[in-house]
């Protein structure tokens, strides 16, 4: 079964706006990761947040983690057309040897 | 440059044929993974390997086989037993430390397999 579920499934915004994507999961985690996938390409690791962290920043990316609600959010500020991609969350669960990926959020940023 | 290389980028298979997808990394990563991606279904794990000469089945291993004879290489064979092989295949690798991934996965650029 899917551990991480992203919301919304698709998001369309204008350049310069902020984009927020959410990820909910079911069990306790070691860490949660966000990846980007451009159409027809492999995934690119964006950011990792550990279970004892609440917020992390990397450039225009801001990730939050609420372990009590078992949820995470990815905020992309001042979006650009080049941010158009699918975004996936992945969870590292204790006792599991592999990450579990969600189905992704498709982000479209229009010029 | 260090990275993970998948080849070929596009592959066409006839019914009843076995085909092998290549995955090579020069990152000195311990673990390697194969995922299948279908539209709207996210990534599904086929096989993974944490050390040389050892590998484990993932969620959808039926109709696939792998080998890990060298740390750098993790080829995936799609056999004729896989009834619906048309998909985008992604290979990934990571250093192992503690849990499944402390550092994130590095992905290849994928192989698109089509049955003709």
For A97, the closest of B40, B48, B110 (CB atoms) is B48
Nearest to A92 among B50, B56, B99 (CB): B99
**Nearest chain B residue to A31, by CA:** B102
Query: pLDDT band at residue B78, thresholds of 50, 70 and 90?
Result: very high
Q: How many CB atoms lie within 10 A of CB B19?
A: 19
Nearest residue on chain A to B4, alpha-carbon basis: A42
Query: Which range has the worst mean pLDDT, A76-85, B7-16, B99-108?
Result: B99-108
Residue A102's φ and ψ, nearest 5 degrees, are -80, -175
Percent of chain B whose predicted confidence (pLDDT) is above 90: 78
Q: pLDDT confidence of A1, banded at 50, 70, 90?
A: very low
pLDDT at position B99 is: 60
Task: Say what the pLDDT of residue B1 is.
Answer: 61
Alpha carbon of A24: minimum distance to chain B alpha carbons (Å): 15
Per DSSP (E only), the strands in A1-111 are: 5-7, 10-14, 19-24, 31-37, 43-50, 55-58, 61-66, 71-76, 85-92, 100-101, 105-110
Structure tokens at A102: 């969600």
Going by pLDDT thresholds of 50, 70 and 90, the confidence category of residue B69 is very high
B18–chain A nearest CA distance, Å: 23
Say whether pLDDT at B5 is over 70.
yes
Question: Is the per-residue pLDDT at B41 higher than 70?
Answer: yes
Q: How many residues comprise chain B?
A: 116
Q: Work out the mean pLDDT of chain A and round it to a whole number.
A: 94
Smallest Cα distance from B6 to chain A, Å: 10
Question: At residue B23, does pLDDT exceed 50?
Answer: yes
**8 Å CB contact of A42 and B109:** yes
Q: What is the pLDDT of residues B82-115, one digit of tens each?
A: 889 999 999 999 987 656 676 799 999 999 999 9
pLDDT of residue A2: 52
* Contact call for A103 and B42, based on CB within 8 A: yes
List of chain A residues whose C-beta atoms are within 8 Å of the C-beta of residue B40: 103
Taking CA atoms, what residue in A is nearest to B108?
A42
Q: What is the pLDDT of residues A10-33, one digit of tens each?
A: 999 999 999 999 999 999 999 999
Residue B54: the pLDDT is 95
Which chain B residues touch A43 with a CB distance below 8 Å?
43, 90, 92, 105, 107
Q: Which of B6, B50, B103 sits opposite A97 (nearest CB)?
A: B50
Averaged over B9-38, what is the pLDDT? 95
Does position A98 have pLDDT exceeding 80, yes or no?
yes
Task: Give mean pLDDT, residues B41-53.
Answer: 93
Q: Is B37 a residue whose pLDDT tops 90?
A: yes
Written as six digits, the tokens of A99 are 């990450």
Question: Cβ B104–A45 below 8 Å, yes or no?
Answer: yes
Query: What is the separation of C-alpha A81 from the centre of its chain, rounded to a whole number of angstroms?
Result: 18
CA-derived radius of gyration, chain A: 13
């Amino acid at each position: 079964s899917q551990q991480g579920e992203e919301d919304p499934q698709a998001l369309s915004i204008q350049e310069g706006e902020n984009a927020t994507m959410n990820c909910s999961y079911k069990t306790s985690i070691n860490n949660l990761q966000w990846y980007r996938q451009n159409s027809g390409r492999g995934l690119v690791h964006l950011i990792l947040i550990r279970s004892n962290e609440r917020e992390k920043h990397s450039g225009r990316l801001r990730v939050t983690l609420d372990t009590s609600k078992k949820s995470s959010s990815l905020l992309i500020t001042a979006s650009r057309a080049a941010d158009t991609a699918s975004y996936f969350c992945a969870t590292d669960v204790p006792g599991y040897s592999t990450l579990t990926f969600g189905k992704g959020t498709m982000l479209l940023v229009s010029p | 440059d260090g990275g993970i290389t998948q080849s070929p980028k596009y592959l066409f298979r006839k019914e009843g044929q076995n085909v092998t997808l290549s995955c090579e990394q020069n990152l000195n990563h311990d673990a390697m993974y194969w995922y299948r991606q279908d539209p709207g279904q996210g990534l599904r794990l086929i096989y993974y390997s944490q050390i040389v000469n050892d590998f484990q089945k993932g969620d959808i291993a039926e109709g696939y086989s792998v080998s890990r004879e060298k740390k750098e290489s993790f080829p995936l064979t799609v056999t004729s037993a896989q009834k619906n092989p048309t998909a985008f295949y992604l290979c990934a690798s990571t250093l192992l430390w503690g849990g499944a991934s402390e550092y994130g996965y590095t992905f290849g650029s994928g192989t698109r397999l089509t049955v003709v």
